[in-house]
Structure 1
Amino acid sequence: MRSRTRIPPSPLPQIAGIDPVRLRLPSDPEGRWPDLGSYLTERYAGTKGAESVARLLAGGRILGPGGRVLAAGDPYEPGSYLWFHRDMDPEPVVPFPIGVVHRDEHLLVVDKPHFLATTPRGSHIVQTALARLRAEQDLPELSPAHRLDRLTAGLVMFSIRPEDRGAYQQLFAERRVAKEYEAVAVHDPRTALPCTVRSRIEKVRGVIGASEVPGGEPNAESTVELLETRGELGRYRLTPHTGRTHQLRVHMNRLGLPILGDPVYPRLLDPAPDDFRRPLQLLARTLAFTDPVTGAEHRFESRLRLQAWEDRTAWESGAC
């Protein structure tokens, strides 16, 4: 068995909870890259990062092991590592706090607000729960055990110690966590509830919404229960038995009960990135599981409330 090459420690610290990019240079049997600059130019050609990498090289912001500053004309060294921080575009600040529900030496469980992504992706980098919590809680090695959709509020769990990360992530991968959600949507007495919705949901990369495929083998299952009504609105408990993208939102829309504030279902809207009015009325309410590290029985409940249920007038006016 071949031994794994030990990865040198990063010479760069996190910035605002974001790790530097780590890049290992691939082998070059044909001698295509006479120097580091030629490799990076080819790697990032035609991408948004091309100009950024050129600026990083010119500014001495790409480092090798031990903190050595690398330049475009340095020899290309296959198998060596380099690190750099990408230039990050300004992001609208999500003006809502992250509430800590539980913290011990292994776990951090928080209430993620609406509009905050769980982890860096696409245009959401610093304004993410992971980046903010690393900085706010002084936990640079924090990592997510699972993810919650950016528009959905509620419970998200993070692993504090790197050695525990796999156990907690496997907990979710193997569906050994009981999850319940709460939603506010229109109430239609013609819809027989409770019911279990099963369908095949597919998500195409680059397309915002997910779609149900008629006649396909079901890969998504959700139970929908009506808890109470208030005028023409209903408060619902949603229990996902699978974890497809936008599953609960798609299934509620299928029942003719689209969740209030949904900018995708039943029709695609285009709110501005800094429009935090009328958030999606979907909340990850509970997480329950046996801790794979300590053996403790956990049941966590969100402390957040759905605004459209508490004060519909305020929600409709956008007074979050």
Structure 2
Amino acid sequence: MVRFVRKGHQAAANAVVPLPVRDGVAPSYLWITATRTGGMLAFLEERFPAIAGPSWAERLARGDVVDAHGTPLQADSHVRQGMRIWYYRELEHETPIPFEEGIIFQDEHLLVVDKPHFLPMIPTGRFLRETLLVRLKQKFDLPHLTPIHRLDRETAGVVIFSHNLATRGTYQSMFQKRSIRKVYEALAPVLHGRDFPFTYRSRMVDGDKFFVMREEEGEPNSETFVELLETRGDVARYRLHPHTGRKHQLRLHMASLGVPILNDAFYPVALPCKGDDFSAPLQLLARSIAFDDPLTGEARRFDSRRALAWPA
């Protein structure tokens, strides 16, 4: 049996990359940790039996699969322990996402972006070129661009990218130290029986399905400060301050309070996948991010120009 380690959309920062970024797509790589017979084509076809895109025979013939030195591999090339294979992830068909990102700020270190709903952050699953990272690499020719935090595909708003390897760790440390001040807005049903503002805490753990979270009894590991901004009929606009950064924290907390965010297809119940239906965006917006710049000490704040859509 061949064991391997695969990097997804982007190579490790300290790796020597023998393939360039192509049309915004960074090469992926695969470590081979056991020798096998049969040749490279047989190995790749066995490892990726349901690959969506050009066949491995076609990719090998084009010279798009190389070793760590950039030497193109052939169908009959040996598969040896310790090899690192580089290749481009490709999709034969990808549905265009008809929403554009906006640029809020750029300097020699950071690119701050206003992400639309439905656009994934990075290549994954059925998304490759229709992702924020690949779009930005294509537009700005920034091969070292990478997000220093993430937003769900369904969430819109402010997100920060680093494109300077020398200072990336410094900016990433702000999120690790929780020195970033993030503010979200959400539309959800009116919450009765609570005095605003208030803090909601719970213990969040992985759910039964890999893509959702749930709450359980125990020491809280998540905290959200909730403010009420306005109401219109049965719907309210809330300002949410996450003091922790758990996956789907705001979505789960609002659902647990009995007021799930409008158009949430995961909480309180995971609904069937809507595929390429763009008609009902999740009404959650990363409104602003503020921090003291770790390089200059300057107070910075970046705000989304987007607005949530009240129901008619």
Q: Same fold (TM over 0.5)?
A: yes
Establish whether residue 21 from structure 1 lines up as the match of residue 28 from structure 2: yes
Aligned match of 1:82: 85
Matches within 5 A, 1:170-249: 170-204=173-207, 206-213=209-216, 215-249=217-251
Establish whether residue 165 from structure 1 lines up as the match of residue 168 from structure 2: yes
| From 98, 101, 107, the counterpart of 2:101 | 98
Partners of 2:15 and 2:188 in 1: CA distance? 50
Establish whether residue 69 from structure 1 lines up as the match of residue 81 from structure 2: no
| From 136, 142, 147, the counterpart of 1:144 | 147
- SS of 2:138's partner is helix
Aligned match of 2:128: 125
Partners of 1:32 and 1:51 in 2: CA distance? 24
Partners of 2:76 and 2:209 in 1: CA distance? 37
Aligned match of 1:108: 111
Structure having the higher helix fraction is 1
Measured at CA, do residues 36 and 50 of structure 1 come closer, stay the same or move farther in structure 2, by a change above 3 Å? Answer: farther
Measured at CA, do residues 104 and 59 of structure 1 come closer, stay the same or move farther in structure 2, by a change above 3 Å? Answer: closer
* CA contact 2:53–2:92 (8 Å) conserved in 1: no
Q: CA deviation at 1:46?
A: 5.6
Establish whether residue 275 from structure 1 lines up as the match of residue 277 from structure 2: yes
- SS of 1:278's partner is coil
Select between 264-273 and 227-236 the one with higher mean Cα deviation. Answer: 264-273
Partners of 1:7 and 1:131 in 2: CA distance? 20
| From 282, 293, 298, the counterpart of 2:295 | 293
* CA contact 1:100–1:111 (8 Å) conserved in 2: yes
Measured at CA, do residues 39 and 94 of structure 1 come closer, stay the same or move farther in structure 2, by a change above 3 Å? Answer: closer
Return the letter of the residue paired with 2:301: R
Q: CA deviation at 1:267?
A: 2.5
Q: CA deviation at 1:79?
A: 3.5
Partners of 1:290 and 1:175 in 2: CA distance? 12
Partners of 1:54 and 1:246 in 2: CA distance? 40
Q: CA deviation at 1:48?
A: 4.3
Partners of 2:304 and 2:52 in 1: CA distance? 39
Q: CA deviation at 1:77?
A: 4.6
Q: CA deviation at 1:114?
A: 0.5
Return the letter of the residue paired with 1:118: M
Matches within 5 A, 1:39-58: 39-40=43-44, 44=47, 48=51, 52-57=55-60
Paired-residue identity, %: 44
Structure 2 unaligned regions, length at least 5: 1-13
* CA contact 2:36–2:79 (8 Å) conserved in 1: no
Partners of 2:80 and 2:48 in 1: CA distance? 20
Return the letter of the residue paired with 1:141: H
* CA contact 1:152–1:282 (8 Å) conserved in 2: yes
Measured at CA, do residues 258 and 65 of structure 1 come closer, stay the same or move farther in structure 2, by a change above 3 Å? Answer: closer
* CA contact 1:119–1:147 (8 Å) conserved in 2: no
- SS of 2:64's partner is coil
Deviation string 1:25-44 (CA, Å, 9 cap, x unpaired) is: 43x4xx544754565456x1
Q: CA deviation at 1:266?
A: 2.4
Select between 56-65 and 134-143 the one with higher mean Cα deviation. Answer: 56-65
Deviation string 1:30-77 (CA, Å, 9 cap, x unpaired) is: x544754565456x1666489944553355431235543211322345
> CA RMSD of the aligned region, Å?
2.5
Measured at CA, do residues 297 and 33 of structure 1 come closer, stay the same or move farther in structure 2, by a change above 3 Å? Answer: farther
Displaced runs of 4 or more, over 6 A: none
Aligned match of 2:7: none
Structure 1 unaligned regions, length at least 5: 1-5, 314-320
Measured at CA, do residues 48 and 203 of structure 1 come closer, stay the same or move farther in structure 2, by a change above 3 Å? Answer: farther
Measured at CA, do residues 208 and 78 of structure 1 come closer, stay the same or move farther in structure 2, by a change above 3 Å? Answer: closer
Partners of 1:61 and 1:164 in 2: CA distance? 32
Aligned match of 2:309: 307
- SS of 1:251's partner is helix
Select between 224-233 and 55-64 the one with higher mean Cα deviation. Answer: 55-64
- SS of 1:307's partner is coil
